[in-house]
Chain A
Amino acid sequence: MPGRSARSYRLIHTIKGTCGFLGLSRLEKVAHAGENVLGRYREGSLSVTSGGVSLILRVVDRVREIMTGLEATGAEPAGDDAALIAELDAVFTGQVAPEDAPAASPERAVPVAVVEVPASAGKRRVAKPATAKPRRAKGAPAVAPAEPLEAPPAVPAPAAVEPTAAPAGEAVAVAQTLRVNVDVLESLMTLVSELVLTRNQLLQLSRARNDGALSGPLQRLSHITSELQEGVMKTRMQPIGNAWKGLPRLVRDLSRELGKKIELEMRGAETELDRQVLELIRDPLTHMVRNSGDHGLESPADRRAADKPEVGTVTLNAYHEGGHIIIEVGDDGRGLAVEKIRAKALSQGLATEQELAGMGERDIQRFIFRAGFSTAAAVTSVSGRGVGMDVVKTNVEKIGGTIDLRSREGKGTTFLIKIPLTLAIVSALIVEAGGERFAVPQIGVVELVRAGDGVAHIKDALVLRLRDRLLPLVSLSRLLRLDERPGEADGGGFVVVTQVGQNLFGIIVDRVFDTEEIVVKPVAPILRHVTMFSGNTILGDGSVIMILDPNGIARATGVGAEGVQEEARRGAAISSASSAERMSLLLFRAGDGAPRAVPLGLVARLEDLPGERIEMSHGRPVVQYRGALMPLVPMSDSWIPPAPGSRQAVLVFNDGDRAMGLAVEEILDVVEEALKIENGQDRAGYLGTAVIAGRATEVIDCAWWLRQAGDDWFGGKRPAARPARVLVVEDSAFFRNMLVPVLGAAGYEVVAVGSGAQALKLREAGETFDAVISDIEMPELDGLGLARAARDGGTWHTTPMIALTSRQEPEAERRGREAGFDEYVPKFDRDALLGALRGRLAASQH
């Protein structure tokens, strides 16, 4: 703090001194009066108050105002600063404590100021600016604060002694940085882009000719070009904090004007982005911060009434994500009132009642991006100047960005701006699909796989068996409605394995060429609605190609659920899979009658094995699979080993190093449906019947079939249904996926989460359950910790809790009961689990 006030003092002092020298009397007087006050802050003889800072800021504003006039006309603009100077002097002499209300300055201070200032100003004309400062710093404490007239004369004398000190210091600074006109950088950038393209063209030619004499120097040229490009790019990058500089001041002024207490939190200010983008995003950001303070945050009284801290927070956060920069502007204010927006949208004729009825909450909130839409009831002087979020949206979209929002009534609103690193040069993989070439930014590409035999056709859906998982596939030519070439679907092409957030998926392409450095250029505005592309570029051979946006592809095809990711990233995620939610189901045929279904999440792989590979061991079919013998369980009684030359479809289930195969007749389809199992069927191996894709389908009981393979994983019969809400806490996705259908079939409403911490988040969110079933060994918060936390108080302290364990030891059970578990059930014993659950629920009801 002392350092900062000293710095402010020096700056104002320099202005004053220089002005005196140049004969700018008005500027000098204001600066002088400000300097006096700052001088006392620096000495510590006057304590810094909020009002004082406001006063100094007003000095800065006045100086700026005069400078602007100077710049425009070459002379000081006319104006009277007497009032401001009088106020400053009153503070300086200690007559008045600086108040927010400027009216507090007493009249008698005025004459003093008027007399004193010109007097000192005249002397200061001789003074050299910055050099005077050190002497004054020493001399000042000696001056009694009550005698302002004595203070200034202490300055001028020593000033003339070291007139060259300041220029010398500046020279050092100049050597470190250099001011370059932006246009120069721009044209450099264009030239480098062209150079990169030409280099690429040359490389392509040399590759075709295979000329050794050429390739050496070309290699060097290529290398230097890359470095040059990197260097020029660096000159364009600036931390986003540069665009935020004015915001603390803005928020401060805002909080005074509105009578709100606002704190500004800025994170990721060092995140770098292209200068040009920075300039374009500055105004929208300022507007949004102002909006958050004005519309978003409530008054202190309202906040108190809502049980919130009086001080509202406006948060700015910036970070890189997949070649984009995300900027979040959030507040913890009142949130968007969905009902109000709905009413307004209706009254403005933006949507009909029916349309609104069919819209989700978020869609309705998005109306605020429409032109002329403002929810503020009163037009304050701060916002509501007719410039709304629609302008922000237009500006963001102009640079190829997108804007979205997240809001909860009473909790606050966060705007998410996603802007591309336009003009940036990125490395991209060039692929071909349907006879056209496209660029895929390398940043999202995880690996490249030859499609080959791994691609399985499940009706219309394509999946790739990649190691231990089934990867959803997207055919690029089908997605872009290009001519599909025969052979592509049969595995002739390549799969570009792409990651978007947490989701992996594959893009099927016909051919893969090189990787190339490309200059990302934004697409024309008339193409901006085509979300599959993030830009376009010119290749080394001069042709124009489109750059694919993996995010857009994921959104368009649903392979990456955006909402889930977004939540997960914020760490506030509660990933729950309720049995009423939709899940992917694999449909297949085995034996007579209805098709069968199994949750796709349970299936590790789909195999199509040649008949020869199936052997018999102890009268049971087995197959050598990945270096081990895998038991094969036929689904139908009438199964006979396939004749050599024919093939056998197999669903592979595994957990850890155990694997078993279920021999089925035919794999039909993968569908996404809410699994609702009807009861009343008591057949070994089946959970019951569900209507899937419009047909009665038997849902298989994986556990039963797994047991047929010899491993006693799970077992028993289904009990009668009883509606109750059960929370399953289990970190293994395999067992989670297994428990949800089992419990769902038993008539429970099931919510599943992956850790104790997530379970507690549900509790904080106000969710209640009739029972909690929890694994013991889990990362982060384990089952024992969860039980202790639940028993510690809160809404779950009487909820029955059942522990699932793989360790059957009395000691472990004792610790479980001590932690607060009511029951201790072996992990693979379904009967015991359902029995315990029934017993506990019955007990808790009485």
Chain B
Amino acid sequence: MQTELAPARRATAAVSTEHGVLTLTVAGQLCGVSVLSVRDILGPQTITPIPLAPPEVAGGLNLRGRIVTAVDLRRRLGLSPREAASPPPMSVVVEVGGELYALLADSVGDVLALPDASLAPNPPTLDPLWRDVCAGIHQDVPVHAGDARLLIMLDVERVLDIS
């Protein structure tokens, strides 16, 4: 996605394109996924743990008769585990390769239309783990009134490439 978007940024003078991005927070970090890949957003769910699965896999949940594999974004991004007292996570359901997956985030925000022009490539100093799953960084994202922050674009396919 990064290579795809980079030329678009250079051609910004010709066509100004925007991208729908669903914002979510993981351990205080503002992240985004392309809204096109999102199928559903669910509140707290009963998640059945799957023994022997990779640690990133939180378990399986039932979405209207379909089984969805839940991936804990905190663990996937190597962030601190969720505290017991904190509210249960939200599920962002995405479809990859015909399969449904739920990305567990602490909270889910708005859908923002972000110009491709504001997407910067990953800084080379970024943690290798993050560099692997990030498709770039949006700057000056208006989250609350007047408050602008950096947003990490997640490449959903690579987030789910757990080996």
Contact = CB atoms under 8 A, between A and B. Distances in A.
A525 interface: yes
**From A190, A436, A526, residue with most partner B Cβ within 10 Å:** A526
B53 A536 contact: no
Interface stretch (B4-12, B23-31, B44-52, B108-116): B44-52
A197 interface: yes
Interface string B44-85: 001111111110010111100101010000000000000000
Contacts of B48: 436, 543-546
Contacts of A524: 67, 69, 99, 101
Interface residues of B, number: 22
Contacts of A481: 51-52
A532 interface: yes
A532 B62 contact: no
A482 B49 CA distance: 10
Nearest to A527: B53
A460 to B, nearest CB: 20
A546 B54 contact: no
A521 interface: yes
Overall SS of chain B's interface: loop
Interface range, A side = 20 to 34
Contacts of B60: 536, 544, 546
**From A524, A530, A533, residue with most partner B Cβ within 10 Å:** A524
Contacts of B99: 524-525
A167 interface: no
Interface string B8-21: 00000000000000
Interface string A513-552: 0000000010111110010110011100011111000000
Given A193-B65, A544-B61, A482 B46 contact: no
B116 to A, nearest CB: 30
Interface in B87-128: 97, 99, 101
A461 interface: no
A532 B50 CA distance: 11
A763 to B, nearest CB: 46
Contacts of B52: 480-481, 530, 532
Contact of B162 (A190, A193, A526, A533): A526
A538 B49 contact: no
B46 A543 contact: yes
Nearest to B51: A480
Contacts of B54: 526
B141 interface: no
Given A436-B51, A480-B52, A543-B46, A525 B97 contact: yes
B51 A532 contact: yes
B160 interface: yes
Contacts of B69: 523-524, 526-527
Nearest to B97: A525
Contact of A527 (B46, B57, B61, B97): B57
Interface in B146-163: 160, 162
A270 B48 CA distance: 39
Given A524-B99, A524-B101, A544-B59, A194 B49 contact: no
A625 B155 CA distance: 69
A526 B55 CA distance: 12
Nearest to A476: B51
A526 B65 contact: no
A526 B51 contact: no
Nearest to B45: A544
Contacts of B59: 544
Interface in A458-501: 480-482
Interface of A: 190, 193-194, 197, 434, 436, 480-482, 521, 523-527, 530, 532-533, 536-538, 542-546
List the 9 shortest-distance A-B pairs measured between CB atoms, nearest first.
A480-B51, A544-B60, A524-B69, A544-B48, A530-B52, A526-B162, A538-B62, A544-B62, A524-B99
7 contacts: A523-B69, A526-B54, A527-B53, A527-B57, A538-B65, A544-B67, A546-B60
Interface of B: 46-54, 57, 59-62, 65, 67, 69, 97, 99, 101, 160, 162
Given A543-B48, A546-B50, 4 more contacts: A525-B99, A526-B162, A544-B59, A546-B48
